[in-house]
């Protein structure tokens, strides 16, 4: 029974999260032969002010905003 945790920044639509959960489930079914109903996907969202790369907070790199493509 696979349990997958995905960490992403807040700001993604519910539809994108549905697509993500389905893609992860499909990949595990295809590669591990597990049943879809046995796959658990946990999406852990975090604030961009709590994420830094190269010593700079993500919120500072992008002006404090996030625009999801295709929304």
Catalytic center residues: 2
**Residue 60 falls in which region: left (phi positive, over 0), alpha (psi -120 to 50) or beta:** alpha
Cβ-based burial of 25 (10 A; exposed 0-12, middle 13-18, buried ≥19): buried
What does the pLDDT look like over 14-26, one tens digit per residue? 999 999 999 999 9
Query: Domains in the chain and their CATH numbers?
Result: 3-61 (3.30.429.10)
Q: How far apart are CA 52 and CA 33, in angstroms?
A: 37
Instruction: Give the Cα separation of 25 and 14 in Å (integer).
Output: 16
> Is pTM beyond 0.85 here?
no
- What mean pLDDT do residues 7-34 have? 97
Question: What's the mean pLDDT in 51-64?
Answer: 84
């Amino acid at each position: 029974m696979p349990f997958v945790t995905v960490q992403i920044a807040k700001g993604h639509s519910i539809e994108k999260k549905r697509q993500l959960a389905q893609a992860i489930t499909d990949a595990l079914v295809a590669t591990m032969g597990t049943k879809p109903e046995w796959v658990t996907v946990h999406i852990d969202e975090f604030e961009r002010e709590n994420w830094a790369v190269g010593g700079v907070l993500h919120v500072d790199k992008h002006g404090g905003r996030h625009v999801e493509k295709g929304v």
